[in-house]
Amino acid sequence: MARIRKQLPANLGAGELKCRGYRGQVDYQIQGEPTTLRPGPSRLRGSLTSTPEVAEQVFRDGDGELTLESGATYRITMLGHSSGSGVAYFEMRA
């Protein structure tokens, strides 16, 4: 029997991203509720949208901090980016 996976709600917003090569505003989409994250191994996945140059730079940096509209700050690790795209994918943790 196929197991149905619960679909996590998408959280959209604009926030500030800080990493080695960039500091500035980005739009984000997070799958799940960030306020449920606790210190430890649990993570949420998401994406950020900006210019193609910023997305590539952030992906090359590998990790950083994302401050959400709520003011909460989370550590992120970059997972993927397609050349020429303004979208980069990440995992976030508390």
Helix (H, G, I), strand (E, B) or coil at 73: strand
Residue 1 has pLDDT above 70, yes or no: no
CA distance 87 to 83: 9
CA distance 66 to 37: 14
Bridge partners for 49 per DSSP: 27, 87
Residue 5 has pLDDT above 90, yes or no: no
User: Which pLDDT tens digit goes with each residue over 13-51?
Assistant: 999 999 998 999 999 999 999 988 888 888 999 999 999
Give the residue ranges of DSSP H helices in 1-94. Answer: 52-61
| 10-49+59-93: CATH, from 2.30.30, 2.40.50, 2.40.10, 1.20.1440 | 2.40.10
User: Which pLDDT tens digit goes with each residue over 47-91?
Assistant: 999 999 999 999 999 999 999 999 999 999 999 999 999 999 999
Residue 7 has pLDDT above 90, yes or no: no
